[in-house]
Chains A and B, each alone.
Chain A
């Protein structure tokens, strides 16, 4: 029932959910299959880049997928390599069109991948700050190979910390958050999947996703690090939400929508 865009939408304040549409089932299936395969291979790659360069004994299909892996982004000479490669994504609900008619591809775009601090700044510096984005938009920064969606293998057992910000704080908090993530400041091994900033009508939301929602030690550590790097006031409300809960909430919501004749 759910789809990628819904996943991205989860942190929405809710004012646009009714307009939200989903891709056609066939389209969605296709995408998900593709995603899964890609995820499987790319994740391996990101976990061990050396392996991906070795010839694989697997079937032709796997080989097809490995090919882009060879072209994977690498740090330039003299640059400061990151522990993981990351990919920037951008999504936006096109104004004036019913959400239901928009496909996933129309809504989310890969901006680019990078492997070093320098390459990160190269992308980041040419991107508008979240606070200056217009409309109903999101930036996603995920490890290369992990799609910013609940169903991704890396995410399906996971969850996220959510912080709602009043207008005007998103740019600073987002930058602090991703610098900490890229710089491996969270110290939770491979648990971090990515981060999202969602620009909404009256507020902005930032969230950081991790793999294992049930690992309380990890989630607590992420929370504490977040507080520190974002320099949050002590009374800031932070909410942890598992993706399964998000999915369920979405289904319930859409059930209501369906019952009332929508979709």
Chain B
């Protein structure tokens, strides 16, 4: 099992550090490589900074070299015991002074998220092998501490690129230390781990520790992810608790124990996950594996925009043991600190100094979550889809608890839920949300379905301007015979200035829907989407009529996969649908093997629906067109006039109409009713909302597909958050901040996972994720000066 953990560790590291390290391969070769890398790092560090550190590393690597062959499953437990013991000894020595404590705080803080992932356990055990081999742990400790301190210094002082360069240097020097090579990696970890408790370290660099702590704190504060009630306490408090609990044991050891409890949850899953993918041949290195989530967490800064896929199935391994301290002390130069809770990493995307802009710009940050929470009735009606999940995780009580925790953890400012069962909403969810400061809107599906959509917004951030609850079931329109619903909410940002809250900035239209599932009925999905877009268009136009700009957020479960026609319509604003097979619209299933399939023909929906092919209400169009016209003019748009084509008054034959055979003997036929000659026969449907997806649908590190939902039928992306992206009108952004920009700036998002990883967790729902969908979470920056 530990070996799998080990693999996992390397895998996850790889994803984040592939920039820094040479390409790595599977299996033993990979291991060599890893150790070489570790060696490189160490050598560079010591080379640059301290002769002593070099000496130390050599010595340790020699020790390790002896140990190395012994690393097998049988030895792991023993090793870890030793390690623990050693740590305790060290800890008692190390943790007397207040300085040490303060020093530990930044690290502790850094570790906090990892601990949530249950990673730290083995990190304690990790040093142990070396310790065991070492006859003078105390002395070693001191030396290590000093070496470590240097390393930390270096890490703090240098940017990623420098580290990379150092790696290169180290590579060249690698031959020197070939004998020690494999062990060096381990040594590094060892050092890292002991850095924390070592008194020397604490005394040596308190200032540095403070600064990085502050930086980290700052970063953490800037994220909404901090709210995790369980894990969050100030670093100081945390340490004190440990002290009281186990006076003899060092805080780190305590932390490790705690972590082990969390970790247990994942051990099996990880093992299963990595057995196949990563090569179980890896010798077990408990310490290494334990660090995995940590690494992931800390690695973010290097390639946060690019990589996020922490538990992505690693196809290669990587040596990044040495980077634990690097991560911990990584200088907060940029606001790029991914914050990981459990399995998913927070990606900061706003690389160009959000802080700098906030000085000159009046901006507001807010987060939006879209989450299909899996209605219990639907779960029970489709049990086959969830056979892989143990019964306990399918119970509503446990799912509800996890769900509430997850939402509380991320605490989005706007929360869009799908598959919210009415009784659960009333009894469980709404009371919690209300307590959290949300104002909620709920719309149950029509017909016999018990679930629906909900939109909740933080009352302290937004106030509602208008609300539309859409029902897609239209008895008079044959096409729209399905009981899906949507919510379109027009919000106004509220800024508290002093004690008074003030309405400010452009409006925000939040739309949430859950489109029909049926993979074969792309025609229905398109029509439902058109209704949604038309309502959004109305909201946007109502703002325009007041001279106000309106940004749009459209999210939900669209039951359509990326880049297929329905998705194209949303993101490009244009779709030529004529002749497409209906199954292709959503692309959930490939039914192309079928000899016969239904196809789409223009027009998609009858004009009696009152929706144009531009996905706008015909009447609204007219309403706002008439707004600009000269008074007294009766102007009507093409679409508006078509809307009245089959109105009752128009279907009565005029009394004074002479019957001329072949000329005036036509009969109006509303059923064939789709006007055959209008522009709609073009087979094109469009919309004018400028929308972009928050997610790119591919995991940057591995290139594998993101999934937002997974059941026994497989995984797919069907949930989205679309938003009005920022468009800079002026071509010169340097023009004194004067450039005109509208729209929302995507400043962060919660990374998704790949199907492999989710199966590694036993699929969905599981003990971590309560639904068969993952939540989507994005942070936006809104320019409040735009009106």
A133 at interface (Cβ–Cβ under 8 A)?
A: yes
CB contact list, B610-660 vs A, under 8 A: 633-638, 640-642, 644-647, 649-654, 656-658, 660
**B interface, how many residues as a size bin?**
35 or more
The A151-188 residues at the B interface (CB cut-off 8 A) are 171-172, 175-176, 179-180, 182-185
The answer to whether residues A76 and B657 also contact, given A179-B638, A179-B642 and a CB cut-off of 8 A, is: no
Q: Assess whether A32 is interfacial by the CB under 8 Å rule.
A: no
> Is the pair B636, A117 in contact by a Cβ cutoff of 8 Å?
yes
Residue B741 is within 8 A (CB to CB) of chain A in the complex: no
Q: A90-B663, A126-B654 are in contact. Are A121 and B634 (CB under 8 A)?
A: no
A82, CB-defined interface residue at 8 Å: yes
**Chain B residues with a Cβ under 8 A of chain A:** 633-638, 640-642, 644-647, 649-654, 656-658, 660, 662-668, 675-679, 681-682
**9 contacting pairs across A/B (C-beta < 8 A):** A80-B634, A125-B646, A125-B668, A172-B677, A175-B677, A180-B638, A182-B636, A183-B636, A183-B637
Interface residue count on the A side (C-beta < 8 Å): 38
Over the window 208-229 of chain A, the binary record of Cβ atoms lying under 8 Å from chain B Cβ atoms (1 yes, 0 no) is 0000000000000000000001
Residues on the A chain within 8 Å of B667, using CB: 125-126
Q: Are A184 and B636 in contact (CB under 8 A)?
A: yes
- Nearest neighbor of A117 in chain B, beta-carbon distance: B644
**A81-114, CB < 8 A from B:** 81-83, 90, 92, 109, 111-112
Q: Is B678 a contact partner of A127 (Cβ separation < 8 A)?
A: no
Contact, CB under 8 Å: B678 / A175: yes
Bound together, the chains give a CA A126 to CA B644 distance in angstroms of 15
User: A83-B633, A179-B638 are known contacts; what are 19 more A-B pairs with Cβ within 8 Å?
Assistant: A80-B634, A92-B663, A112-B656, A118-B644, A121-B644, A121-B649, A121-B650, A125-B668, A126-B654, A128-B663, A128-B664, A129-B666, A134-B662, A137-B663, A176-B678, A179-B636, A184-B635, A185-B638, A229-B638
Q: Which residues of B contact A179 (CB under 8 A)?
A: 636, 638, 641-642
Q: A44 within 8 Å of B by Cβ?
A: no
When distances are taken between beta carbons in the complex, the residues of chain B under 8 Å from A129 are 666, 677
Would A80 and B636 count as touching, CB distance under 8 A? Answer: yes
Closest 9 CB pairs of A and B: A121-B650, A125-B668, A183-B636, A172-B677, A118-B649, A83-B634, A184-B635, A175-B677, A122-B650
Contacts A128-B666, A183-B635 given; indicate if A122 touches B654 (C-beta within 8 A).
yes
B652 closest partner in A (C-beta)? A122
Q: For residue A125, which residue of chain B has the nearest CB?
A: B668
Q: Is the CB of B650 within 8 A of A118?
A: yes
Q: Chain B's nearest CB lies how many Å from the CB of A95?
A: 12
Q: What residues on B are CB-neighbors of A79 within 8 Å?
A: 649
Chain B CB within 10 Å, residue with most, of A76, A119, A121:
A121
Are A127 and B664 also in contact (CB < 8 A) when A179-B642, A231-B679 are?
yes
CA distance A79 to B649 in the complex (A): 9
Query: Residue on B with the closest CB to A174?
Result: B677
Contact A123 B654 (CB under 8 A): yes
Are A127 and B663 interface neighbours, CB within 8 A? yes
CB < 8 Å neighbour of A172 from B637, B647, B656, B678 = B678
In the bound complex, residues from chain A placing their C-beta under 8 Å from that of B636 are: 80, 117, 179, 182-184
A81: chain B residues within 8 A (beta carbon): 634
**Are B662 and A80 in contact, with the CB atoms below 8 A?**
no
B682 (CB) vs chain A CBs: closest residue = A231
Asked if B650 contacts A125 (CB within 8 A), the reply is yes
Chain B residues within 8 Å of A120, by CB? 641, 650
Contacts of A112 in B (CB 8 A): 654, 656-657
Tell me, in angstroms, the Cα distance from A133 to B666 when the chains sit together. 11
CA A109 to CA B658, docked complex, whole Å: 10
Query: Which residue of chain A lies nearest to B629 when distances are taken between CB atoms in the complex?
Result: A184
**Which residues of chain B are near A180, meaning CB under 8 Å?**
638
